[in-house]
Every structure is written in structure tokens, then in C-alpha cells.
């Protein structure tokens, strides 16, 4: 059974955790060197285990089994993908947990958040604006955050971020943020965190 390192990486330590969205092993290597606490991938990016020991969140379409086979520690399921089949969410969540993966549940509205709590009661939420502009992504995350119950982990997906935006999310109580590969060192500070 796989270690649940993703949730540990984003819940431990001081301040907000930075998760970097990477597209290839070189970006993963750079993000690791610059102090990222976890990585996010949206497709097959080669053997990341050869260049980093950071936990990986698997975001491509597909099953939890594919994520586990790729070496991921966490798998993303979007409430939006369930459509009218609420049991699909339950099945996907159960499969991920059964494989030893942390299951990160993406929500884009209060209704989706309520449905996720009712059906799954997940440990980790990804607060997302979907395909909206990045400025809307920050607002959406901050709007959804108060509805995330205490004791749950909240991750904001805001794309390219500034240090000011990260500070605002941290003050609001967000546990982690997914960012692009630009200026990772600037976002995490001068000293890479202990992993």
C-alpha cells in the first residue's frame, strides 16, 4: 500500500504549501530545487521518480489505477465529471483510497462542495474556478473556503500567482496552492522547506 505522503506534505509545516504544476521531468527537477512541497501533473510526463521524491498529484483524465501505476501519491476527481451519477464519485473515491492514494476532490461551486461532503466526506478539497480567468480563480477559492469544514485540507488552484495572492490565501486559511512553474522560489521564500 502506497504511503499517503501528499496530504502530509500539504498539512505539515508553517504557512501555505506550494504545489507546482509541471509538464516534464526538467520542470519537476527545478520545482524541487526551488522548494516546492508537492507536484501536480496533467498528463504523462515521464519518470518523475527519477528526478524527485516529492509527492505527486495526478490530474489527467483516467482512473485511480492509472495514477497509482504512474507513481502518483494523490489522484484528483472532479465533482463536475460525475454528471448526474453521484455513485460514480463514490466508486472513484473508494478505488483511490483502496489503492492507497489520497483522493483530492475538485469543487467549483457551493453545490458541488455540499454534494462532495454528502457523498464522500473527503479529506482534501481542490477549490477551482474551472476554465475561468486567473483573477476569478482567486475569488472563487476565497468564496468557497468558508464552506470547507474545519479539519479538511483546502487547496486553491489559481494558476500563476504572486506572493501577495499566496499571502491572502494563507491568511484566509488555505492549506496549499497549485501554481505554474514560474518564480517558484519567489513564492516559497528564500529557504526551501524541510520535506
Cα 157 → chain centroid: 7
The pTM of the full predicted model, rounded to 2 decimals, is 0.89
Q: How many CB atoms lie within 10 A of CB 195?
A: 17
Contact predicate 175/153, CB 8 Å: yes
| Better-predicted residue by pLDDT, 79 or 181 | 79
What is the reported pLDDT for 133? 56
Region 9-37 average pLDDT: 90
Could you tell me which CATH number the domain at 5-186 has? 3.20.20.70
Cell 501505476 found at: 69
Smallest CA-to-CA distance from 92 within 18, 129, 101, 84 is with 101
For residue 68, give Cα distances in angstroms to 65, 75, 195.
5, 8, 21
What is the reported pLDDT for 195? 39
Cα 138 → chain centroid: 15
Name the 3-class secondary structure at 176: strand
Range of weakest confidence among 90-94, 157-161, 186-190: 186-190
* Rounded CA separation 53/170 (Å): 25
Region 40-55 average pLDDT: 84
| Beta strand spans in the chain (E) | 17-22, 38-41, 56-58, 74-78, 102-107, 124-127, 153-159, 176-179
Instruction: Establish how many alpha carbons lie within 13 A of residue 12's alpha carbon, considering only the half-sphere containing its beta carbon.
Output: 11
What residue spans define the domains of the chain?
A: 5-186
The percent of residues above 90 in pLDDT, for the chain, comes to 59
Amino acid at each position: 500500500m502506497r504511503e499517503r505522503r501528499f496530504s502530509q506534505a500539504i498539512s505539515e509545516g508553517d504557512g501555505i504549501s506550494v504545489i507546482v504544476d509541471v509538464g516534464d521531468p526538467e520542470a519537476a527537477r527545478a520545482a524541487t530545487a526551488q522548494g516546492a512541497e508537492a507536484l501536480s501533473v496533467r498528463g504523462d510526463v515521464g519518470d518523475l521518480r527519477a528526478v524527485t521524491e516529492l509527492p505527486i498529484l495526478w490530474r489527467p483524465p483516467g482512473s485511480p489505477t492509472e495514477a497509482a501505476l504512474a507513481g502518483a501519491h494523490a489522484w484528483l476527481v472532479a465533482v463536475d465529471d460525475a454528471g448526474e451519477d453521484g455513485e460514480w464519485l463514490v466508486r472513484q473515491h473508494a478505488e483511490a483510497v483502496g489503492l492507497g492514494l489520497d483522493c483530492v476532490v475538485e469543487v467549483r461551486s457551493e453545490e458541488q462542495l455540499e454534494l462532495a461532503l454528502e457523498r464522500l466526506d473527503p479529506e482534501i478539497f481542490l477549490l477551482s474556478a474551472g476554465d475561468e480567468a486567473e483573477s476569478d480563480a482567486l475569488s472563487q477559492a476565497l468564496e468557497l473556503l468558508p464552506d470547507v469544514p474545519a479539519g479538511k485540507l483546502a487547496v486553491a488552484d489559481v494558476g500563476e500567482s504572486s506572493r501577495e495572492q499566496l499571502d491572502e490565501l494563507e491568511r484566509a486559511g488555505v492549506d496549499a496552492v497549485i501554481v505554474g512553474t514560474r518564480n517558484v522560489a519567489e513564492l516559497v521564500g528564500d529557504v526551501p522547506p524541510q520535506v
